[in-house]
Copies of this chain bind each other. A is one copy, B any other.
């Protein structure tokens, strides 16, 4: 079974992984769910090369997971938005987040979740033990998020580093 075959497998997990089964794709979906809409915003926060990001965005679009919306005519520029199919990946991201909160948080600066999430309907904190009440589907839009100061700083630093890299490339 080669990777091509994975996308033709009968296994449901394999079929899903054929679309979203790499770190970059789910990081892109995380960025879009956080409200990053533009190519360079997503690039700055994922650290992907332009080529890699462009390829992944194209594939996600052709798989119906995201859609492009024109926001500038000259030059032509697009924003990226989740489709319903893309939003329905939120439970996958939530499950990864819960697992990470349980196992990957160690060391003092990592004690708090990167985004403190409150389920709007009930006011509950969404932590690693939380589950959606009454088995409803979960979407991040059902939650109110507050980014930790530390992660905000990390993201600001990503942005600055990205802009500095661009300036440097232009100058050389």
Contact = CB atoms under 8 A, between A and B. Distances in A.
A36 interface: no
A99 interface: yes
A101 B135 CA distance: 17
A110 B15 CA distance: 10
B103 A99 contact: no
A126 B141 CA distance: 25
Contact of A99 (B16, B102, B105): B16
Nearest to A162: B1
A11 B112 CA distance: 10
A88 B129 CA distance: 11
Contacts of A14: 27, 30
Interface stretch (A53-61, A69-77, A147-155): A147-155
Interface in A1-25: 1-3, 5-6, 9-23
A104 interface: yes
Given A15-B100, A132-B135, 14 more contacts: A1-B161, A6-B27, A9-B114, A10-B109, A10-B154, A11-B151, A12-B96, A12-B105, A13-B26, A13-B27, A13-B100, A15-B105, A21-B23, A22-B23
Interchain residue pairs A-B with the least CB separation, the first 4: A1-B47, A21-B23, A131-B135, A16-B100
Interface of A: 1-3, 5-6, 9-23, 26-27, 30, 45-47, 64, 85, 88-89, 91-105, 109-110, 113-115, 129-133, 135-137, 148, 150-151, 154, 158, 161
